[in-house]
Amino acid sequence: MILRVVLGDQCTPGLSALEGLDPASDVVLMAEVRAECTYVRHHKQKIALVLSAMRHFSELLRARGITVDYVRLDDPGNTQSLAGEVARAAKAHGARRIICTHPGEFRVLEDMQGWEEATGLPVEIRDDARFLCTLDRFRAWAAGRKQLRMEYFYREMRRETGLLMHAPDEPAGGQWNYDSENRAALPADLRPPAPRQFPPDAVTRDVIALVEREFPDHFGTTEKFAWPVTAEAAEQALADFIAHRLPRFGDYQDAMAEGEAMLFHALISAAMNCGLLDPMRACRAAEEAWQRGDAPLNAVEGFVRQILGWREYVRGLYWLKMPDYRDTNALEAHRKLPWLYWSGETAMACMRAAIGQTRDLAYAHHIQRLMVTGNFALLAGLDPAEVNDWYMVVYADAYEWVELPNTHGMALHADGGIMASKPYAASGAYINRMSNHCRGCAYDVKRPTGPGACPFNFLYWDFMARHAPRFAKNPRMAMPLRTLTKMAPEKVAAMRAEAKGFLDALAEGREPMLRGGR
Ligand code: FAD
Ligand code: DLZ
Ligand code: SF4
């Protein structure tokens, strides 16, 4: 008898751990365990989503005649760790071997590598074939390269998969990348269509009650839970995106707007990351929409680039660079994460919007993560370990393989530039250009310093001054550094003093512009 282990983010019928399964003898183990719910104190919606997806998936396997040993979180005897449950099940079923699929996080791989010794049984860890680029393929691509630029990786992936290609070396439309056409702000008279919601079914309602009981202190609320928890629902979510939002996804990919949490985004990462939706299926569906003339190329290419390019690239990078990657702190950032990241209580309208929707929906789109909360953390010099923890906690789609490169590398530049050739640092002007948040903000985006000045402004120049020597030779930083050298030294000194005063005040929970601030 072979014990086949399926983790919470492996709810995929074609999972490599299930290949060759003999329904007459083999048993699939799926275990809800406290250790996985609390290694970071995940958003309540993330736990509910994963446990509900696991329960639904176990029923699907059973309906196919497969024996599933499903351990619920509150089952008596649950040892509350993956290793403990594997050992218990192996003994109970008299297993001869254990088969599993490569996990998404380094700490789980290390754990899995100890299962052989813990159980005395051979453990086979199979590749995770749900990704479009194998880890070996990525390693081969990275070998000998000085710079690991996503764009070049993406082009190889386009060639290899034939996605959006006219001929072997000819991208559809003649261009590889339409990023420059993805930068419009949302016009005042354009209301994005409301995405399809997936209200909790009976299984999810049970799980939400369990989460509220067992993890009452975790971040976030569950009232607005609307995630797909089955492959069927994930397919409907994709179809809803392709029909109603994909055509404008390209134009407004970088836009932000007050009261518009989702704009034209796909909302599929949470489902895709736990195995409910196949990434190639999502890319092909978008390509077909373009071929039918239902969506323009800039939208479809932008979408395919995110999945075939960025998603595969960050995974490859994670496994190439771990475990040392997460310990780097190239910009020597040591400030503690201010409480406002948890409370959302701030007079900064852009931060309040991003954090508020994160609490209510376990979702913020890419530009909010990168250019609002991420940018603030970068400029303020917040400790990467604390910021990484925050991003791991607060999003329904957070798994370290994708969260870490995006946060540590792209948003914080803590890897010293492996992922991005320059830091994504921006002043309030960027946020003002891409959103309408500044109009209703207590701060003045046009003021660089002085009472009511937008914090992103003085923090930006403080960041530039702080790191000027490091970036002096980086051609992509030449423009802001030149502007800095042209500024009167007193002005720079005033902004730096203001930045320090503001951050010290935040650390003490008293933001100057926030009435009754903590
Ligand atoms: P869309 O904007 O509609 O994009 C479509 C799909 O492309 C996404 O579903 C996702 O699978 C993929 N994608 C887009 N951008 C990226 C990217 N940079 N890296 C990997 N895949 C991408 N994504 C996660 O899945 N989990 C995370 O924990 C996560 N943490 C992030 C942290 C930071 C600081 C930043 C800047 C980005 C992070 N991202 C993460 C990437 C991105 O923000 C989310 O994938 C996206 O917002 C998910 O929403 P969506 O499905 O509506 O995506
Ligand atoms: C995220 C998560 C949660 C909240 N709970 C479980 C669980 O109870 N059992 C399980 O097998 N997996 C869970 N997961 C997903 C794992 O954390 C995930 O498999 C690892 O982080 C590796 O990607
Ligand atoms: Fe954000 Fe500054 Fe604009 Fe306020 S003024 S919304 S703090 S960028």
Closest alpha carbon to 82 in 30, 46, 119, 47: 30
Residue nearest to atom 8 of ligand 2 (CA): 32
- Look at residue 130 and tell me whether its pLDDT is greater than 50: yes
Same domain, 372 and 444: yes
328: Cα separation from own chain's centroid: 20
Distance 235 CA to ligand 3 centre (A): 37
* 237 within a domain of the structure (yes/no): no
Q: Are 33 and 46 in contact (CB under 8 A)?
A: no
Same domain, 305 and 445: no
Q: How far is CA 447 from CA 180, 376, 442, 457, in A?
A: 28, 17, 12, 8
Q: Are 143 and 439 in contact (CB under 8 A)?
A: no
Same domain, 122 and 141: no
What is the dihedral sign for C-alpha 373, 375, 379, 385? Answer: positive
Residue nearest to atom 6 of ligand 3 (CA): 438
ipTM greater than 0.90: yes
How much is the pLDDT for 517? 41
How much is the pLDDT for 516? 46
* Ligand 3 pocket, residues with Cβ under 6 angstroms: 348-350, 428, 431-432, 437-438, 441, 443, 445, 454-456
Q: How far is CA 4 from CA 10, 14, 67, 390, 507, in A?
A: 12, 13, 10, 33, 48
One-letter identity of residue 275: G
Q: Could you tell me the CATH number of the domain that includes residue 272?
A: 1.25.40.80
* 413 within a domain of the structure (yes/no): yes
> For ligand 1, is residue 245 a contact (CB within 6 Å)?
no
Quickly state the pLDDT bin for 100 (edges 50, 70, 90): very high
Least confidently predicted of 27-31, 191-195, 487-491, 514-518: 514-518
Same domain, 363 and 249: no
Same domain, 187 and 57: no
* 359 within a domain of the structure (yes/no): yes
Same domain, 430 and 386: yes
Residue nearest to atom 5 of ligand 3 (CA): 445
Q: Residue 29 pairs with which residues in a beta bridge?
A: 5, 69
Q: Could you tell me the CATH number of the domain that includes residue 379?
A: 1.10.579.10
**Ligand lying closest to the C-alpha of residue 350:** 3
Quick: pLDDT tens for 58-98.
Answer: 999 999 999 999 999 999 999 999 999 999 999 999 999 99
> For ligand 1, is residue 369 a contact (CB within 6 Å)?
yes
Q: Residue 50: which residues within 8 A CB-CB, separation 6 or more?
A: 8, 9, 274
Residue nearest to atom 50 of ligand 1 (CA): 267
* 212 within a domain of the structure (yes/no): no
Query: Which residue's entry shows tokens 């071997």?
Result: 97
Q: In this structure, what are the phi and psi dihedrals at residue 170, rounded to the nearest 5 degrees? A: -130, 105
Same domain, 302 and 416: no
Q: Going by DSSP bridges, is the β-strand pair 165-167/170-171 parallel, antiparallel, or unpaired?
A: antiparallel
Per-residue pLDDT, averaged over 430-456, amounts to 96
How much is the pLDDT for 272? 98
Q: CA angle, 386 as apex, 502 and 355 as ends, to 5°?
A: 65
- Look at residue 49 and tell me whether its pLDDT is greater than 60: yes
Distance 318 CA to ligand 3 centre (A): 33
Per-residue pLDDT, averaged over 290-305, amounts to 96
Q: Residue 494: which residues within 8 A CB-CB, separation 6 or more?
A: 449
- Residue at which a domain ends, from 71, 96, 126: 126
Per-residue pLDDT, averaged over 246-257, amounts to 94
**Ligand lying closest to the C-alpha of residue 32:** 2
* 204 within a domain of the structure (yes/no): no
Quick: pLDDT tens for 410-422.
Answer: 999 999 999 999 9
Quickly state the pLDDT bin for 180 (edges 50, 70, 90): confident
Same domain, 345 and 445: yes
Same domain, 108 and 30: yes
- Look at residue 518 and tell me whether its pLDDT is greater than 50: no
**Ligand lying closest to the C-alpha of residue 267:** 1
* 266 within a domain of the structure (yes/no): yes
Ligand 3 site-directed mutation target among 355, 372, 379, 441, most atoms within 8 Å of CB: 441
Q: For residue 150, what are the domain limits? A: 135-195+245-321
> For ligand 1, is residue 46 a contact (CB within 6 Å)?
no
- Look at residue 141 and tell me whether its pLDDT is greater than 50: yes
- Residue at which a domain ends, from 126, 143, 159: 126
Q: How far apart are CA 390 and CA 402, in angstroms?
A: 14
* Number of structural domains the chain divides into: 3
Same domain, 49 and 163: no
How much is the pLDDT for 513? 87
**Ligand lying closest to the C-alpha of residue 40:** 2
How much is the pLDDT for 259? 93
- Residue at which a domain ends, from 82, 109, 126: 126
How much is the pLDDT for 15? 98
Same domain, 156 and 300: yes
Quick: pLDDT tens for 233-244.
Answer: 999 999 999 999
Same domain, 314 and 451: no
* 233 within a domain of the structure (yes/no): no
Q: Are 245 and 196 in contact (CB under 8 A)?
A: no
